Amino acid sequence: MNAPGHNLRIEPGRRWWLFLLAIMAVLPGCRTYYQRQQEFQSHFQSGNIEQAAQVLESDRRAENRRTRLLHLMNQGVVQHMLGNYAASNDFFEEAYILGEDFRRNLGDEALALLINPNVTEYRGEPFELLMIHYYKAMNFIQLGDLDAALVECRRLNIALNALSDRYNNENRYRRDAFIHTLMGILYDASGDYNNAFIAYRNALEIYQDDYSRLFNVGVPEQLKKDLLRTAYLTGFRDEVRRFEAAFDMTYEHKRSDDEGDLVFFWKNGLGPVKAEQSITFTIVRGAGGAMYFENEEMGMSFPVPASEAKESSGKLGDLRVVRVAFPRYVEREPVYTGARLGAGGRKTELHLAQNLNAVAFQSLQDRMLREMGSALLRLAVRQAAEQRIRKEDESLGAIFGILGAVAEQADTRNWQTLPHSIFYTRKTLPAGEHQLSLELLLPNGNVAKTLHLDANIRPGRTNFMNFHTLDAKNRATRAGR
């Protein structure tokens, strides 16, 4: 120990421990990612999109943070909602490249074992990376560039194949029915009815096999109609008859040269935000120095690696119970549960095609055991490191232990400007200007409000509109620890 007033000498072997302590000292506090983005979230959720964009634009440090991907995706969303489609695509393309070029940083991952996972670069959930292409395709359509939107189809196909190859468990989120539906709609709009039919058929299979079971999302009625129509236009008469029987529907081909289709996407509410929860584990010792973290109520047991168990034995020997932080999702339940689109004196129900809230919850559940294992390993490694420091300097070891406990946080980062769910429909309308009515429905079926939108229908073409209502019952203002 150095006497008061003496200069502190740092031995070379201890400098890296002090370096870690310095990193811990400058970590953000206990706030979640949502709470750290409170100013932006407040403007965005209130529909003040221009102010939300200004908050993002004024964040000069965003490019240097480990949340750069989220910053780019949020920029893309707000520019899309402001109608700045080219600028939106610039941000989304940069986000796409960042996601594709992601490389594991072993140094960051090692540091995460001593601090928390927030020190690593956020790489995005698989469904989040897929949604980049949804927004890009919608932007290109608004810019009148259907060929570029089809490029996003090909990128989507590559991403979907990679997702399916990564996960073989049928109880996991590994296939995306909505994305296949979107691909079908875009191929359909380009006149490529064969590829449209294939994409629609793939979507049908995933809705029936995966979405109905995992997300309680059935086959959209509009998908059935589009599948029958593209089967007819491709000349697959046997397929038309097969699906007519399966859907209990009869297809009659009607098309006029002075009509056009309107495909309308409605993005409803706000997706979930990540918060933090803690779970209590009991430390159990086994034969030969083995050590386990157990939670009997949840039926979980995680072994501590032998090397870390040996290093941690002295410190953990005084403990019987430990609490470890894990991420959890908080749903922002939408106000509206359905909608009807009116045009030309007729109203059409919009069909649920994607429940991003359910996909997010399932994706986290799919890897929860891995999240728990990583968190417990982090605890064991940190306790072992503390023991090594204490051997050199008891005071420094104690400081390391305190800062390590403060630094213990779950990774609460996620893309929080995504919608809760996406509905769509297709209407065939006479060419020309139309005023549309969008009736937003409450859970009891009553109309909460009616919005009026203008649409210009071009004959012989597929016209697109997408609209996002941000109303949610729970703003998640207290989402956190």
d(CA 357, CA 344): 33
Query: 338 CB contacts (<8 Å, ≥6 apart)?
Result: 349, 350, 352, 423, 441, 445
The band of 214, judged by pLDDT with boundaries at 50, 70 and 90, is: very high
When computed from its CA atoms, the radius of gyration of the chain, rounded to whole angstroms, is 26
C-beta separation of 336 from 268 below 8 A: yes
The pLDDT of residue 143 is above 70: yes
Average pLDDT rounded to a whole number, residues 257-282: 91
Average pLDDT rounded to a whole number, residues 388-407: 69
Smallest Cα–Cα separation from 47: which of 81, 73, 83?
Answer: 81
Task: State the pLDDT at residue 11.
Answer: 47
d(CA 235, CA 137): 28
pLDDT in tens, 58-69: 998 887 788 999
C-beta separation of 341 from 350 below 8 A: yes
Task: State the pLDDT at residue 407.
Answer: 67
C-beta separation of 400 from 18 below 8 A: no
Indicate the average pLDDT of the chain: 84
Least confident of 176-180, 200-204, 258-262, 314-318: 314-318
Task: State the pLDDT at residue 10.
Answer: 39
Query: 131 CB contacts (<8 Å, ≥6 apart)?
Result: 356, 415, 418
Domain extent listing, the chain: 277-329+368-407
SS (H, E, C) 7-29: CCCCCHHHHHHHHHHHHHHCCCC
d(CA 283, CA 292): 6
Residue 27 neighbours by CB distance under 10 Å: 15
d(CA 38, CA 206): 37
Task: State the pLDDT at residue 6.
Answer: 39
The pLDDT of residue 279 is above 50: yes
For residues 303 and 182, the model is more confident at: 182
234: helix, coil or strand? helix
Max Cα distance, the chain (Å): 94
Model's pTM, two decimal places?
Answer: 0.85
Residue 287 neighbours by CB distance under 10 Å: 5
448: helix, coil or strand? strand
Q: Which two tokens stand for residue 409?
A: 């946080």
Q: Which two tokens stand for residue 473?
A: 């019952």
DSSP string covering 299-363: TEEEEPPHHHHHHHHHHHTT-SEEEEEEEEEE---BS--EEEEEETTEEEE-EEEEEHHHHHHHH
292: helix, coil or strand? strand
pLDDT in tens, 333-374: 999 999 999 997 899 999 999 999 999 999 998 887 777 777
DSSP string covering 47-97: T-HHHHHHHHHT-TTGGGSTTHHHHHHHHHHHHHHTT-HHHHHHHHHHHHH
The type of residue at 9 is R
Average pLDDT rounded to a whole number, residues 403-426: 87
C-beta separation of 302 from 373 below 8 A: yes
The band of 1, judged by pLDDT with boundaries at 50, 70 and 90, is: very low
The pLDDT of residue 310 is above 70: no
